[in-house]
Amino acid sequence: MPSSEPKAKIAPFPSRSEAPAAEKLGLTHRPRRNRKSEWARRLVRENVLTTNDLIWPIFVIDGERRTEPVASMPGVVRYSVDEAVRAAENAAALRIPAMAIFPYTDPGLRDPHGSEALHDQNLVCRACRAIKAAVPDLGLVTDVALDPYTSHGHDGLMRGEDILNDETVAVLVKQALNQARAGADVIAPSDMMDGRVAAIRAGLDGEGYEHVQIMAYAAKYASAFYGPFRDAVGTNKTLIGDKRTYQMDPANSDEALREVEQDILEGADMVMVKPGLPYLDIVRRVKDTFGQPTFAYQVSGEYAMIMAAAQNGWLDGDRAMLESLLAFKRAGADGVLTYFAVRAAEALRDG
């Protein structure tokens, strides 16, 4: 009977005493030569993170002169609109290109239809107007989805247990227009309904907002890493069930390409993969396949993990932050939405 033992293909390592002298190895390539000093490492460096790569997501609340910490996101606060303006001025001074705005909606204003999303004086609209007036050159990204406004915490309208697709899309178009009228530069649908990009594009163009960009949360997964965000916008307690009938299955990769392709065909100017670090393979495939402006969202849970470990002294927070952000560039992302944006911009400025 033939032995089923596979033949060893690789010779075992020689013991230290058997190791050949360097000259006997006759190595043509010694990759360490290019790492021997700081100048050499800089010279051969393939990727670089700059402040131009950062989009800063912030949370806004009602009131004045108010900042309120988000417990599960150390270092992140919710800003009243006036404080958000100050934060925006700081971001602009650091040359961060854009900010994304998320509301903590008063629970009393949440209803099953997410009506507050269409109110022209809602928090996001007020923040957009105030920031645009004070810092006109800062890009403003607004999220299109109903979850911060619905009493059930879902991104869409519900009938029974179902999340209604086409009915939701009709509302999302109105929400997008409401944000565009308030001065949003980039509409970012994060709801994962089918067909929303085309509908929003048509809606914007129909009202003369053809210059407003769309950054599609194209490949957005049903992820455990959104936990702290839901804390920040107050949907943790309200959310009934989960979002697995509209957000993607974390097991899928080809499906991400189909989602991204569809959003590009529907008119997305920029596409996004979310979450970030656990999905770098998707970022790379999307960039290689489509060559479009591609973004990644380093989500709340990723931020919380790094901050928690840093606070415990388990890792060097600044180094872990910059290494994780550089990883997005290496994977092919053009930019990153990150709660670290200000801290990263400061670290990059200070060298």
35 vs 197, beta carbon nearer ligand PBG: 197
CA distance 129 to 141: 13
**Minimum CB–partner distance for residue 271 and ligand PBG (Å):** 15
**Minimum CB–partner distance for residue 335 and ligand PBG (Å):** 15
153 vs 317, beta carbon nearer ligand PBG: 153
Which one of 111-119, 142-150, 156-164, 315-323 is the stretch in contact with ligand PBG (CB under 6 A)? 142-150
154 vs 287, beta carbon nearer ligand PBG: 154
Find the binding residues for ligand PBG in span 174-203 (CB under 6 A): 190-191
Active site residue 287: no
**Minimum CB–partner distance for residue 211 and ligand PBG (Å):** 24
Active site residue 274: yes
- The pattern of x and - marking residues 266 through 305 that bind ligand PBG according to CB under 6 A reads ---------------------------------xx-----
Residue 145 interacting with ligand PBG (CB under 6 A) = yes
Provide the β-strand partners of residue 164.
157
Which one of 25-33, 80-88, 140-148, 194-202 is the stretch in contact with ligand PBG (CB under 6 A)? 140-148
Residue closest to ligand PBG, measured at CB: 229
Catalytic site residue from 220, 243, 287, 329: 220
127 vs 289, beta carbon nearer ligand PBG: 127
Catalytic site residue from 24, 36, 174, 274: 274
Question: Which residue in the set 147, 259, 263, 266 belongs to the binding site for ligand PBG (CB under 6 A)?
Answer: 147
**Minimum CB–partner distance for residue 36 and ligand PBG (Å):** 40
Contact in structure between 201 and 169 (CB atoms under 8 Å): no
The residues that are catalytic are: 220, 274
- Residues binding ligand PBG (CB under 6 A): 143, 145, 147, 155, 190-191, 226, 229-230, 243, 299-300
